[in-house]
Amino acid sequence: MLRPVLLIFLMLTLPLPAMAEDKKDQGELGEEIYLPVAPVIVTMFSQGRPGGVLTVSSQLKILDPGKRAEAHKLMRRLVSAYTVETNRLALKYFDINRPINIALLSRVYQRATNRVLKHKEAQILISNVVVQKR
């Protein structure tokens, strides 16, 4: 009775060959890969006083593995550019009592992405926008 249990346990702990191949590939065959971007968090103001926090979560879609590796190296610059642009929009255009214009935000993020990476093959995908009022 002990042998079948031990055999099942060993089978469950060994990696499957298909799973090992997936780890080796890492998107080198041209499949779509999304690079996570650190969340951008900026303060929103209401009548000149801090009124809340705007948090933007996003990802980068890059098909070319070489350009994906380059974007991974430049991720800090990308997050910095996104933070500057989000802060500018939060100060000039966004109101804490109104919905955020995500189309405007995505256009601004895409321009920043193209400027930092110096190519247009990366696409920014905004996955979540949250406004927390105080």
Has residue 22 been placed in a domain?
A: no
Whether residue 38 lies inside any domain: the answer is yes
Instruction: Answer whether residue 19 is part of any domain.
Output: no
Residues 6+ apart with CB under 8 A from 38: 75, 79
Flag whether 70 is in a domain.
yes
Would 87 be classed as within a structural domain? yes
Mean pLDDT of 88-111: 95
- Is 92 a domain residue? yes
Higher per-residue confidence, 31 vs 108 = 108
Domain count for the chain, please give it: 1
Does 67 reside within a domain? yes
* SS3 category, 1: coil
Domain containing residue 34: CATH number: 3.30.479.30
The span from the CA of 33 to the CA of 26, in Å, is 8
pTM, rounded to two decimals: 0.76
Our CA dihedral for 39, 45, 46, 52, rounded to 10 degrees, sits at 40
State yes or no: pLDDT of 112 exceeds 90: yes
Question: Residue 20: what pLDDT?
Answer: 44
Q: 76 in a domain, yes or no?
A: yes
Residue range(s) defining the domain that contains residue 114: 29-133
The pLDDT tens digits of the residues spanning 22-73 come to: 444 455 545 668 999 999 999 999 888 999 999 999 999 999 999 999 999 9
